[in-house]
Structure 1
Amino acid sequence: MIALLARDLRLAVRAGGGFGLGLAFFLIVTVLVPFGVGPEAAILRAIAPGILWVSALLACLLSLDRIFALDHEDGSLDLLATAPLPMEGVAFVKAAAHWLTTGLPLVMAAPALGVLLHLPQAGYGWLLVSLALGTPALSVIGTFGAALTVGIKRGGLLLSLLVLPLYVPTLIFGAEVARRGAEGLPVQTPLLMLAGISLGAVALLPFASAAVLRINLR
């Protein structure tokens, strides 16, 4: 599993499919928002948690089609299917590699971009917590969507249509944690819901992804 994870990390960095692309998209959307809604600090402060979360979600979405597509094209996925490592482990490693190259950089960059949107000082910590808890769910759900569309030519649009509805609960509770934290309100309920979604996705979806991959590779 460690060798596969290291391989995927090297491929992601060399190909630029996840690390640079997602971070650049996150930055561009955050920078453009003040031009669209105006420079008023009060407006930006109110919408900052939601904008940062939507930007992070879309940035994660950009690189999902690369999770299995490259391995399918060069035949590596067929070899992984016959390797001693079970397909559930392969799906988990793929999701972990996606989070490390896409989700983790977004978590680390979010506080700096929050300054551009006048995010209240009390919200920075909760923004980090919400993204750190929520982005693993985005990667695992995205891996499941990528497994469903593996082998489909130009399946990026279909992948987006399949995954976006599944992302909605994570977006709702993640943005709510950041918003309540910024306003000094209790965050326990949305925080627990967000943690539950992430833990449930990590526990269950690798098995669903593995089952779908076995069907697609027959």
Structure 2
Amino acid sequence: MRALLVRDLRLALRAGGGFGLGLAFFLIVVVLVPFSVGPQPELLGRIAAGVLWLAALLACLLSLDRILALDFEDGTLDVLATAPLPLEAALSVKALAHWLTTGVPLVVAAPVLAVLLNLPVAGYGGLVLSLLLGTPALSVIGTFGAALTVGIKRGGLLLSLLVLPLYVPTLIFGAEAARRSAAGLDAATPLLMLAGISAGVLALMPFASAAVLRVNLR
């Protein structure tokens, strides 16, 4: 499993579809928001939590098709399907690699970019914590979508359409937690809901991903 994780991390960094692309998209979206709504600090402060979470979600979405596409093209998926390592574990490792190369950089960059949107200082901790709790779910759900559409030519748009509805609960509770923290309110409830979603997804989704991938590889 460690060798598979290291391999996927190297592929993600070399292929340019993980770390750089997601982070650049995150930066562009956040920078463009003040131009679209105007330089109004109060307005930017109110919408900052939602904008940052939406930008992070879309940034994660950009690299989902690369989770399994390269392995499908070179035949690695067929090897993994017949290897002693359970396919569920292999897909969990791939989701972890996606999170490390996409989710973690977004978590690190979010407080810096929050300055551009005039997010209140009180909301920084809630924003980072909500992203730490929520982005793993985005990667695991994205891996399920990638397994569902693997082998389909130009399946990126279909992947987005399938995954986006599954992202909605994470987006709602993540943005609400960051918003409550910025307003000085108690954010425990949305954070607990977000943690519950991530825990449930991490426990169940690898089995669903493995099942649909086995069907697609037949």
TM exceeds 0.5?
A: yes
CA distance in 2, matches of 1:131, 1:39: 26
Partner of 1:161: 161
Q: Counterparts of 1:71 and 1:15 in 2: how far apart (Å)?
A: 12
The amino acid that maps onto 1:143 is T
Matches within 5 A, 1:1-218: 1-218=1-218
Q: What's the TM-score, normalizing by structure 2?
A: 0.99
* Displacement after TM superposition at 1:5 (Å): 0.3
* Aligned partner letter, 2:155: G
Give the whole-Å Cα distance in 2 for the aligned partners of 1:204 and 1:125: 29
* Superposition RMSD in Å: 0.4
Tell me the amino acid that sits aligned with residue 17 of structure 1: G
Cα distance in 1 between the residues matched to 2:123 and 2:188 = 14
- What residue identity is the alignment partner of 2:208? A
3-state SS of 1:71 partner = helix
Q: Supply the distance in 2 between the matched residues of 1:48 and 1:42 (Cα, whole angstroms).
A: 10
| Counterparts of 1:4 and 1:216, CA distance in 2 | 21
The CA deviation at 1:188 is 1.4
Q: How many angstroms apart in 1 are the aligned matches of 2:86 and 2:105?
A: 28
Tell me, which stretches of 5 or more residues in structure 2 are unaligned? none
| Cα displacement (A) at 1:82 | 1.0
Helix, strand or coil at the partner of 2:32: helix
Query: What is the rounded CA distance, in whole Å, between the counterparts of 1:71 and 1:186 in structure 2?
Result: 44
Counterpart residue identity of residue 118, structure 1: N
Aligned partners of 1:148, 1:14: CA distance in 2, in Å? 25
Show structure 1 runs of 4+ deviating over 6 A. Answer: none
Calculate the TM-score normalised by the size of structure 1.
Answer: 0.99
Give, as a single letter, the amino acid of the residue that structure 1 aligns with 2:169.
Answer: P
Q: Secondary structure at the match of 2:10?
A: helix
1:114 offset after TM fit, Å? Answer: 0.2
| SS of residue paired to 1:64 | coil
- Alpha-carbon separation, structure 2, partners of 1:192 and 1:34: 31
User: Which amino acid letter does the alignment assign opposite residue 162 of structure 1?
Assistant: L
